[in-house]
A and B are shown apart, each in its own frame.
Chain A
Amino acid sequence: MPEQPMLHYLWIVPLLPLLGAAVNGLFGAKWPNKYVTATAITSTGLSFLCALEAVREFFLSGQALFRKEFFTWIAAGNFRAGFDLQMDQLTVVMVLVVTGVGWLIHIYSIGYMAHEGGYYRFFSYLNLFMFFMLILVLAANYALLFVGWEGVGLSSYLLIGFWFLKKSAADAGKKAFIVNRIGDFGFMLGMFLLFRTFGSLDFAQIFAKADLWPKEAMGHLGTLTIACLLLFMGATGKSAQLPLYVWLPDAMEGPTPVSALIHAATMVTAGVYVVARSHVLFTHSPTAMLVVAIVGCATAFFAATIGLVQTDIKKVLAYSTVSQLGYMFLACGVGAFSAGIFHLMTHAFFKALLFLAAGSVIHALGGEQEMPKMGGLGKKIRWTYATMLIATLAIAGIPPFAGFFSKDAILFASFQSKAGGRVLYAVGLLAAVLTAFYMFRLIFLTFNGKPRYDEKKVHVHESPWSMLGPLVVLAILSLVGGWFALPAFYGGPDYFANFLGPVFGARETVEAGAEAAAHQLELILSGVAVVAALIGLAVAYWLYIKNPRKADDVAKSMKPAYTTLLNKYYVDELYAAAVVRPLVWLSTNVFWKAADVAGIDGTVNGIAHGASAIGDGVRHSQSGNTRSYAVWVVAGAIIVLAVIFFWPSASKIAVGLVR
């Protein structure tokens, strides 16, 4: 028994959910729900505890990077992909978020899915997802990380398509997987390039070697830049950034807990995690950094604008997720990795909370998702209302809620960054205003004003405690979650940044140097941020509480813009028209029908027909008339004589034939 037993058996952490998944998947069909529940909850809960234990040991060991190779999974030539797990500060954050939030959501699901068919399927998928997600965050090399990466994609495919009888659900699942695959295409190439460059895919080796490389000048496409961009392509796919964000809104077809866990809290943040994890590479390539920042910033704003007008409560949350992820990338892009991860964590709390609360609302209304058909629920489902409000305040960035600190840190960092910092800051700020607006719009439309649903039919009821419990816990987290990173000027040392220091080392110390000068500025900026949030709040209040008519008038007054937003800038339609349909048409008519059947196969059969046609000719020379035969003999005689006598001249031709 080694000291740090848990770390040395780290594989148990991911394995437990896998076991749960396997057991439920194989036997769940026959079991009553409670067995299934037990299996799922215990497996994930245990893995949460194990994770905690592992973290404890990690801290005891003085936060030294722990890395262990368990077995080799692919080996060819000098390439080795091992089942290697590692534990460092970044991992700690991710593991705790994943297992913790994951566990809560499992508990929530008990109530939420109670009356759904395929209960066992749901939990076995969910556990499978946990397994892959843990692999992803614990992996110590890109290959294994890719396993988790693809695996979570798979489980999201399964969970989005959970209600596979609905075509829309099945479509959404497929779309999610394929769009992710497009990202993975880049990710794989990135891995290949890294292997080609560093002869390995282990984080440790790559980063060690990469550190010695010179920084690549801005705008210069060096190896590292290309590698980073390729990896980032993967990240855009997984984390729903421009231009590959299209799958996430559709993913709301899945059950709400899934949206909460996968499409808000954990999986979609994998892209951010990868970028943060590969920060050594990124920091060596300003170009890549800038790209990340711009994409992130643009997505943050773009998604927010769409979020303004959506009416489906989950769609709004989905776009806000996209936009928040944009913030995280913005953070990484400007080098504030710890801030990015910090926002990742807080976002995990409040976005999960938002989704679960929304789920609770939907649950209360018996499956209704359209906000225009809600309203005035505040009094009826207080707990839900309260928790959701907290979450909203957090995401809007109102102090002292979690969102405020993380978002503030990001904006501050972007403001400071050399390359186009001001622009990024401005856009980010604008996005913050929009965020505040559409979130409060959601709140007001849902909980305030008059009920717009048929009160006779729909009997609104508060959700069971199995669902409210997680809400409360998450609400607390979204309140206090930010205080880890109490910025210095509030007198509190930035625990979080310092904690992640060893990982993102270099960058942070630089910040520390600028600290003194920065305090003043930071104070102002945070003020500005709060103001921005309040503006958004105010506008929402004015439009949806004070004079509800106004909103529609505004919408009418700017019809084209409104419809454009409502239809999400027609991006899906664009893709369909520009990529999907042409490809299918091409494959059907050109490649298959024309090239394959008519062209190649036609040629083959054509040769056959030609041969038999000639054969028919030969056959008809067989006229059955002896005289003709005699003439043939004579002809043959002449041929033979000609060949034998006039050879020298004929030979030239014949040799030509021979050659």
Chain B
Amino acid sequence: MLSGGHLLSVLIFFPVVGALALMMLRGDDHKFIRSIAMLVSVAEFLFSLMLLRGVPIGSSGYQLEEFAKWIPAPPIHYHLGVDGISMFLVLLTTFLTPISVWASWNSIQKRVKEFFVMLLLLEVGVVGVFFALDMFLFFLFWELMLIPMAFLIGIWGHERRVYAAVKFVLYTMAGSILMLVGIIWLYNATGTFDLPTIQQMLANGQLVLEPRTEMLLFLAFFVAFAIKVPVFPLHTWLPDAHVEAPTAGSVMLAGVLLKLGAYGMIRFCLPLFPEASHRAARWVAVLAIIGIIYGALVSMVQPNLKKLVAYSSVSHLGFVVLGIFAFHHISMQGAVFQMLAHGISTGALFLLVGMLYDRRHTFEISEFGGLSTPVPKLAAFFLFVALSSLGLPMLNGFVGEFLILLGTYQRHWGWAAWAALGVILSACYLLWSYQRVFFGDVTLEKNRALPDASLRENWILATMAVVILWMGIGSPFITRRTAAATQTVMDQAEPQWAYEATARANAKPHAKTVSLHAAPTIRVERLAVR
């Protein structure tokens, strides 16, 4: 079971070590603290690059698995593994962490030590979620990552930070606790928390979920993930959280945390509940499309630049969800790619917004205007990132959207047609806001003297720009590595495959069909009789 070193564990726990080291430090030597945090996060990134070697191209199934018994009853194991999808999401995380450390170099001045500790702990939680193959472990990390994020928002955020932080936690918890019930329930049906094992059982028909049950379970998981993504009606925590969070927080939030939801859908909803997913697909798609268009429209009219970006995330992740639930191989790969692309571009957008904030301490678009005269460099970078985010070919945003739409079109051309409207709208809100912020004469005198990008900012943005360009041109580097994984997911999510399982199950007598409601009725009768 245990194959290939302990790379995954190292990746999970190295930041913990870093965080502990930071805690030991004296609180007042900010420069030193920052350097240590930077060191740790960069090292983490370099480690994570080893994954590329660990996950050979075309390898289906989980690589670098680690397995250790943890808790006997119920059997909970420390089971890690990585495949093409999670690998790149981890790389994204480990890449964005140093970036955000770097980005908060000067902007964080109070309680510096705690800040970086929280940032590293957040990284721990996220990486753990991506690696966990034991559902319990998954949930554990899933919850763990809440607290650092909440602190990041709540302590270093802006005016309504506390409200935003609490809202964020409660929203996520509401979903995740139901998911816990779902997980436990699945455990009762299967006797294990181990994801691969359960997938095995489904594959060879030992476990067949009665439709209604499957749907309920699907919902239990889906709602939790949908809140995280966020899917349309559950998105209202996002604008608050984003606007109030400090730059680094927004970057991690938009860049990584939102991906967890989509990742969960790919990793759990589809493979575990294929038929339910297929039955729900129509409605999910509708929500996703609403999210795309609605998010774009709402973001178009935001007076607050950061909120605008936040809502644009709603729109972009609508694409991801659509791509997942279109059940087409291409759209699935597109979804994965779009996750990464969005992570980079939106992360970069938040960085830029944050830099503007550092200069003017406001997000109100009306406070800016004509900025490209004082800050041409920032303006140029902003334009570049905006273009990538509105899906200009040869930049990262395009590949994801294009593949999603292309794949979706192959299955349901109507969905694709509706979603494609988002492409138009994204151009509208990005270019419009860009014009209002950067074009024209300088509207406010105090903006005339704003300093242009510092060396540090230049380097940060340049890094992001390079990645954006590289992802746009060299996308096969990623898609070739995710292909096998997405293919596996697609196979597991194939309904006819599930039907076969049912057939096999009916052949087998010992196959247990599980239902939420048969049992209580029995018990109630028993009580009544006695």
Contact = CB atoms under 8 A, between A and B. Distances in A.
A258 B427 CA distance: 22
Contacts of B372: 164
Nearest to A192: B409
B370 A77 contact: no
A621 interface: no
B340 to A, nearest CB: 13
B424 A182 contact: yes
A647 B517 contact: no
Nearest to B424: A181
Contacts of B432: 174
Given A170-B435, A648-B528, A178 B424 contact: yes
A630 interface: no
Contact of B236 (A75, A154, A604): A604
A584 interface: yes
Contacts of B171: 604
A74 B476 contact: yes
Contact of B387 (A154, A588, A600): A154
A12 B50 CA distance: 36
A587 B300 contact: yes
B478 to A, nearest CB: 10
Given A77-B333, A151-B394, A177 B427 contact: yes
Contacts of B527: 647, 651
B421 A154 contact: no
B417 A184 contact: no
Interface in A315-367: none
A328 to B, nearest CB: 25
B204 interface: no
B286 interface: no
Contacts of B409: 189, 192-193, 195-196
A655 B520 CA distance: 9
B9 interface: no
Interface string A224-240: 00000000000000000
A383 interface: no
A188 B423 contact: yes
Interface string B383-403: 000010000111000110011
B441 interface: yes
A587 B301 contact: yes
A164 B236 contact: no
A423 B259 CA distance: 58
Interface string A574-614: 00000000011011100110011000110010000000000
A368 to B, nearest CB: 23
A164 B439 contact: yes
Given A587-B300, A651-B528, A77 B329 contact: yes
Interface in A488-525: none
A557 interface: no
B297 A587 contact: yes
Contact of B393 (A150, A161, A189, A647): A150
Contacts of B298: 587, 591-592, 596
Interface string A121-163: 0000000000000000000000100110011001001000100
Contacts of A150: 392-393, 398
Given A150-B392, A167-B440, A192-B405, A77 B473 contact: no
B483 interface: yes
B431 interface: yes
Given A77-B483, A161-B439, A164-B439, A600 B233 contact: yes
A72 B330 CA distance: 16
A165 B370 contact: yes
A642 B402 CA distance: 64
Given A146-B393, A189-B409, A596-B236, A76 B302 contact: no
Interface string B173-216: 00000000000000000000000000000000000000000000
Interface residues of B, number: 59
B416 interface: yes
Interface string B479-492: 11001000000000
B406 interface: yes
B416 A192 contact: yes
Contacts of B406: 79, 191-192, 195
Interface in B333-372: 333-334, 337, 370, 372
B294 interface: yes
A206 to B, nearest CB: 15
Contacts of A161: 439
B421 A185 contact: yes
A651 B405 contact: no
B441 A165 contact: yes
Given A192-B416, A600-B233, A74 B403 contact: yes
A154 B392 contact: yes
A596 B310 CA distance: 13
A659 interface: yes
A151 B441 CA distance: 27
A655 B405 CA distance: 47
Nearest to A601: B236
Interface string B292-317: 00100110111000000000000000
B428 interface: yes
B524 interface: yes
Contacts of B394: 73, 147, 151
Contact of A583 (B297, B403, B480): B297
A658 interface: yes
B413 interface: yes
B410 interface: yes
Most central of A77, A146, A170 by chain B CB within 10 Å: A77
A651 B524 contact: yes
A75 B441 contact: no
B475 interface: yes
B410 A196 contact: yes
B420 interface: yes
Nearest to A167: B440
Contacts of A583: 297
A161 B435 CA distance: 10
B440 A584 contact: no
Contacts of A195: 406, 409-410
B333 A76 contact: yes
Contact of B405 (A74, A164, A188, A601): A188
Interface in B258-306: 294, 297-298, 300-302
B428 A75 contact: no
Contacts of B479: 74-76
Contacts of B438: 164
B355 to A, nearest CB: 20
A655 B524 contact: yes
Interface string A68-106: 000011111111000000000000000000000000000
Contacts of A648: 528
A171 B428 CA distance: 12
Contacts of A595: 294
A177 B429 CA distance: 12
A298 to B, nearest CB: 24
Given A181-B427, A196-B409, A601-B236, A188 B420 contact: yes
Contact of B423 (A181, A586, A651, A659): A181
Given A77-B330, A651-B528, A72 B476 contact: yes
B399 A74 contact: yes
Contact of B403 (A79, A154, A177): A79
18 contacts: A73-B475, A76-B329, A76-B483, A77-B483, A79-B406, A151-B393, A167-B439, A181-B424, A192-B405, A195-B410, A584-B300, A584-B301, A587-B300, A591-B298, A592-B301, A604-B167, A651-B527, A659-B517
Interface of B: 167, 171, 233, 235-236, 294, 297-298, 300-302, 329-330, 333-334, 337, 370, 372-373, 387, 392-394, 398-399, 402-403, 405-407, 409-410, 413, 416-417, 420-421, 423-424, 427-428, 431-432, 435, 438-441, 473, 475-476, 479-480, 483, 517, 520, 524, 527-528
Given A191-B406, A600-B236, 4 more contacts: A76-B330, A165-B441, A192-B405, A595-B294
